Amino acid sequence: MDHKLSIFKPEKAMKANLKRIRSKVQAWSFKRGASGCSDRRLMLRYFSGLIYAATGGFIPHASAQSQAFPTKPMRFVVPFPAGGGVDLVARTIAEKISNRLGQSIVIENRPGAGTAIGTEIVVKSPPDGYTWLVSPVGGQGVLHAMKAKLPFDARKDLVSVGRIAYGTVALVVPASSKAKTVQELVAMAKANPGKMTYASSGTGALIHLTGEMFKLAAQVDMVHVPYKGTIQIIPDLIDGRVDMALDSLPAYLPHLKAGRLRALAVASRQRSALLPDQPTMAEVGLPSVVSFTDYGMFAAAGTPQDIVNLMNKEMLLALGLEDVKAKLAAAGIDVAPSSPDQMRAELIDEYKKWAGVVKAAGLKPE
For residue 29, pLDDT beyond 90? no
Answer whether 296's CB lies under 8 Å from 135's CB.
yes
168-221: pLDDT as tens digits = 999 999 999 999 999 999 999 999 999 999 999 887 778 889 999 999 999 999
For residue 132, pLDDT beyond 60? yes
For residue 67, pLDDT beyond 70? no
The CA–CA distances, whole Å, from 337 to 29, 161, 333, 346 equal 59, 10, 12, 12
Over the chain, what is the mean pLDDT? 84
Answer whether 144's CB lies under 8 Å from 310's CB.
no
If one counts every other C-beta atom within 10 angstroms of the C-beta of residue 260, the result is 17
**Confidence grade of residue 13 (pLDDT, cut at 50, 70, 90):** very low
Average pLDDT value for residue range 131-156: 91
- Residue-level pLDDT at 112: 84
Adjacent-strand bridge partners of 134: 297
**Confidence grade of residue 20 (pLDDT, cut at 50, 70, 90):** low
Q: Which residue has the higher pLDDT, 271 or 45?
A: 271
The H-assigned helical ranges of the chain are 11-32, 37-54, 85-101, 116-123, 137-146, 154-157, 182-191, 206-218, 230-238, 253-257, 305-319, 322-329, 340-361
Answer whether 167's CB lies under 8 Å from 248's CB.
yes
For residue 120, pLDDT beyond 70? yes
Residue 279 DSSP class:
P
- Residue-level pLDDT at 85: 87
For residue 49, pLDDT beyond 50? no
* Amino acid found at 22: R
The CA–CA distances, whole Å, from 3 to 57, 70, 316 equal 22, 10, 12
Average pLDDT value for residue range 297-308: 97
C-alpha–C-alpha distance, residues 12 and 231, integer Å = 58
**Confidence grade of residue 55 (pLDDT, cut at 50, 70, 90):** very low
Omega of the bond prior to 70 within 30 degrees of 0, cis?
A: yes
- Residue-level pLDDT at 127: 97
